[in-house]
């Protein structure tokens, strides 16, 4: 991890003030700035990715949110943090599944386009506008 912080210093990235996600368990240094690495069950088993601005690994709740799950709907009291992280790594992102079904159901004539709620379009539009602004 010290190698990672040395690299960030050379790139003029302050790891404490920026959200840098670091795979500290990998043999090859892998990191992302302001976005997450792909969640996997194996990374959940080792504790998850390190978040530089927080000075700790990702929590189970953060892993669930990255997969578009609402952590409040999951009973985390009876499941270990490692098990939740592994499950999040094995899961498909809710928004991806939803978008697939929004296309599949009308194509299979199982639903009309107007009857389906598109919850993620507003979010995607807002993100695109923010990126254009930045």
- Mean pLDDT, 10 residues at a time, over the chain (134 residues)? 63 71 80 81 82 87 86 84 89 84 90 77 63 58
> Minimal CA–CA distance to 67: which of 25, 45, 36, 31?
36
How far is residue 46's CA from residue 16's CA, in Å, rounded to a whole number? 23
Per-residue buried b or exposed e for 93-110, using 16+ beta carbons within 10 Å of the residue's own CB? eeeeeebeebeeeeeeee
> Minimal CA–CA distance to 60: which of 28, 29, 93, 83?
83
Q: What spatial distance separates the first Cα and last Cα of the chain, rounded to whole Å? A: 29
- pLDDT value of position 108: 93
Q: CA-CA distances (angstroms) from residue 64 to 25, 50, 69?
A: 20, 16, 5
pTM given for the model:
0.71
- pLDDT value of position 107: 92
């Amino acid at each position: 991890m010290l190698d990672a912080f040395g690299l960030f210093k050379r790139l003029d990235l302050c790891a404490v003030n920026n959200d840098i996600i670091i795979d500290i368990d990998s043999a090859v240094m892998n990191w992302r700035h302001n976005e997450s690495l792909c969640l996997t069950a194996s990374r959940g088993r080792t504790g998850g990715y390190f978040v530089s601005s927080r000075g700790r690994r990702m929590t189970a709740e953060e892993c669930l949110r990255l997969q578009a799950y609402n952590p409040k709907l999951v009973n985390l009291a009876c499941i270990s943090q490692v098990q939740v992280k592994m499950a999040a790594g094995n899961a498909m992102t809710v928004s991806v599944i939803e978008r697939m079904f929004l296309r599949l159901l009308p194509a299979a004539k199982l639903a009309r386009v107007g009857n389906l709620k598109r919850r993620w379009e507003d979010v995607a539009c807002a993100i695109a506008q923010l990126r254009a602004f930045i």
